[in-house]
Amino acid sequence: MVFILYSYCQTLQPGPSVHWGLSLSLGPLLGSLNLNQGVLESKTSSARRRRYIEEAELFNIEVLLAVDYSVHLFHGREHIQKYLLTFMNIVNEIYQDHSLGANINIVLVKIIALSASKSLEIISLGNPQKSLENVCGWSYLLHREQNHAEQHDHTIYLSRQEFGPSGMQGYAPVTGMCQLHQSCVLVIDDGFTSAFVAAHETGHVLGMEHDGEANNCIDDVPLGSIMSPRVQATFYRYHWSRCSWMELHKYLHTYDCLRDDPFYYDWPVLPQLPGFQYTMDQQCHFDFGPGYSLCTAYTTHDPCKQLWCSDYHNPFYCKTKKGPPLDGTKCAPGKHCYKGVCTKLTPDMLRQDGHWGSWSPDSSCSRTCGGGVTFRTRRCDNPAPANGGRTCFGNSYEFQLCNREECPPLSDFRSDQCKVWNPFYEHEGKKHHWLPYQHPDPDERCRLYCQSKETSEVVFMNKMVHDGTPCSYDDPYSVCFQGESKCGRGPREERQD
């Protein structure tokens, strides 16, 4: 009996980075495919216009998934959509892992299947750098305006062509997210384990490097870290290392393209566990190609611990990628694989994606004149996500300007908020007359700073300004909301349910 463990390596200098093989884990996301002539592309639909409400804790990577003709030919027109959606769900699940320390959603906005001629034009056999340059250049030409339903932040290109040396599984630049000529990765389609390659390569674009090579996280490698140069993660054993966490957070705040809301798509709903729709024979076919199915020559091993496959021409020669079958794969009558064990499934094992509850009533306007703010909120509790289920997409609040008529002459909302402290607030043992102060740092303008009329000292009052306070005296249409400046953004747009 023989097993094959795929390893992989890369160059970490500026410019593209090379990778070679790996093993993986599962997740949630969706897309749709519509095939026609030279470039075959997907239908997309949007449930609403994009709203630009900044929510720093939520990041959405809107992905264009491109597959070349070799992938389309291997999976077939009838089955490729389901395969690609499952693949992207796995990538998203990897990014949902709590060890990443960030709320990142992988949002599939479009699928494009390329014709044979276009596929050969893009992939330069044996030349990964040239192939990646072609992919990035091609995807850059598909760039749309930021508020377009098919706008993408990042491209994942799947191919079964040998774009590099034998065993090379992925290629990507280190950093480049939100720069469309660099936010692209090239991945070999080698079964569902390749979703780990896609997650790994996307990690490089986000600024992460190899554990134990460019950082001191070598101890995470045998534990299944995603950014390991020799990936040992499996569907039920993977994590992001502490180094990946630090490297991501070094750059994440600069990726403004990830802060907008994604459009919602009417994609097909996938089963709660991906293995519900794929047998072990099918997964062997994806991993090793035509003619491969579950190895039945040896019956001593647990079929859910590792997926062993053999070619029907040589059934006693078995191979594995050292990963288990997908969770939900049938392994015995009434039993399915779950985290590497053949067991009876119970409701608490099944993932439940979260869905939004109803909007609350609108709040009262924060001002009686001069442009206040009214807002409403909702909770992700209908139902709440459970057992690793996906959190709700979108924002938990929306706001609008209200009472926009001008206030009486000499009225100043920021000034009123400072004046209220005159009788109460003592600074250095004395009461002062407090005047409004506009901080020079735009990020500080929604915090209440006041200036003493007597000493000219500036003091932070340990409070945020009231909702609806203009961010700046120079721009009356920019307002503060919940302590953040919404300058020239969502408040002036119409809201939709």
Binding-site residue set for Zn(2+): 200, 204, 210
Strand-by-strand arrangement of the 335-338 sheet: 330-332, 335-338, 341-343
Binding residues: 200, 204, 210
* Measured distance CA(158)–CA(113) in Å, rounded: 10
Cα Rg of the chain, angstroms: 27
**Residue type at 328 in one-letter notation:** G
- In whole angstroms, how far apart are CA 163 and each of 27, 87, 397, 492? 27, 21, 46, 48
Listed in sequence order, the residues at least 6 apart from 342 whose beta carbon sits closer than 8 Å to its beta carbon are 302, 303, 304, 331, 332, 335, 336
Q: Name beta bridge partners: 40.
A: 113
**How many Cα atoms sit within 13 Å of 366 on the Cβ side?**
22
Q: Name beta bridge partners: 314.
A: 311
Check if the beta carbon of residue 239 is closer than 8 Å to that of residue 94. Answer: no
Tell me the longest C-alpha to C-alpha distance in the chain.
93
Judge if the upstream peptide bond of residue 222 is cis by omega within 30 degrees of 0: no
Check if the beta carbon of residue 201 is closer than 8 Å to that of residue 207. Answer: no
* Measured distance CA(204)–CA(65) in Å, rounded: 17
Candidate list 201, 209, 398, 484, residue with the active-site label: 201
Q: Which among 431, 452, 432, 449 has a CA at the least distance from the CA of 440?
A: 449
* Measured distance CA(467)–CA(482) in Å, rounded: 6
**Residue type at 298 in one-letter notation:** Y
Q: Is 55 a catalytic residue?
A: no
- Torsion over CA: 280, 286, 287, 293 (sign): positive
Check if the beta carbon of residue 102 is closer than 8 Å to that of residue 92. Answer: no
The residues annotated with a catalytic role in the active site are 201
